Structure 1
């Protein structure tokens, strides 16, 4: 009920009618999403790269994945570069944020979104999107860590659940691709989602 009210409110706030398709959920398809940014503070982080991959049934469509480098306003600082490896020269010729986001919206459409600590990515993307279309992404969000918690809590009620990425993947027997690469992280999250779905927590 609350989700339906929120979607109705977001639809009213949408300032660009070209993106009304974001409210048309695509049956049987999802999109795993990840962003690399200049900071872990969602209120000031700048986008450096965005990647997304579609999940259709039991398949992760890596051959048609979305991946783009984004040109930030400020040069990435050394601490940021150490995490994701994206140097100033790597992103200085990246796509302008508005162009990158328009392409992302076309790729995602109304598909539900999957991710690991997805709330952060959606907060950063929302900060960029609201001046452009009036709202952040209205898509239904599926949080991997929450689904994994539910899965483990069903197995061992009341036990501590380690939600960090490496133990989660090892427990689900999902191959761990190199971290802090947006496309690798999006693919890995998609595989984790499928592993949970196979256990009844999709």
Structure 2
């Protein structure tokens, strides 16, 4: 089964490579480096990958079971539209904050840096599907491809860990996959949710504790 899955992934990757519009981004298809992970998180204008935009993005390298915070990537992206009040209540980022930020970039410039940063890495995240969809919303029309990198969802690892603790054949209730609950169960401090860097860091620390549950 694993051989078939690997073959299908390789075929899909090859097909995507042929769709790449810009040869400057062939590094997207660098072979995956074993043991190299990048945990990332986005703060956005809302929860719709089709309509909303990335405001800030942080990515942290994990190598040799260590979180390399000194090599973190932190990006702030210019917004052409007002950030709505509901999202401001969540991440506390206003248009004015971006206007005065010393390192704010346009969307393609910021995402270009991110794409180079994740070269050869496996992506890690909490509800990673959403963050990947936000990136794909930018790069699909621009480069013709979606992110081809392998992806690991930490809530699945946590679920596997909690399931392994349960007695066989005994139903012990649903497993709570809320971020705060996972942090508490794994004894990881809650630094400050809804900040891209803090969320990426906390998720990376969860991954370190859970990666023995990775499927081969």
**8 Å Cα contact 2:79/2:95 also seen in 1:** no
Bigger mean CA offset, 149-158 vs 169-178 = 149-158
Tell me the CA shift for residue 6 of structure 1: 2.1
Q: How many residues align?
A: 200
Quote the residue 1:9 is aligned against: 15
TM-score if structure 2 supplies the norm length? 0.88
**Gaps (5+ residues) in structure 1?**
none
Contact 1:38/1:48, CA 8 A, preserved across alignment: yes
Aligned equivalent of 2:63? 56
**Cα displacement (A) at 1:181:** 0.5
1:19 aligned partner:
25
Match of 1:31 among 35, 38, 55: 38
Between 58-67 and 157-166, the greater mean CA deviation after superposition:
157-166
Does 2:49 correspond to 1:42? yes
| More displaced 10-residue stretch of structure 1: 158-167 or 76-85 | 158-167
Structure 1 residue corresponding to 2:112, chosen from 102, 107, 119: 102
Q: Aligned partners of 2:191, 2:121: CA distance in 1, in Å?
A: 24
What are the Cα deviations for residues 85-118 of structure 1, in whole angstroms up to 9, with x where unaligned? 1011112362100000111111111200000000
Q: How does 1:25-174 map to 2 (within 5 A)?
A: 25-92=32-99, 94-156=104-166, 158-159=171-172, 160-174=174-188
Answer yes or no: is the 8 Å Cα contact 2:36–2:120 preserved in 1: no
When normalised by structure 1's length, the TM-score is: 0.94
- The runs of at least 4 consecutive aligned structure 1 residues that moved more than 3 Å come to none
Offset of 1:155 from its aligned partner? 1.8
Report the structure number with the largest CA radius of gyration: 2
Let me know the Cα RMSD of the aligned residues: 1.4
Using the alignment, how far apart are the partners of 2:105 and 2:190 within structure 1?
28
- Structure 2 distance, partners of 1:112, 1:73, is 31
Larger mean CA deviation between 147-156 and 112-121 belongs to 147-156
Which deviates further from its counterpart, 129-138 or 52-61? 129-138
Aligned mates of 2:14, 2:190 — CA distance in 1: 38
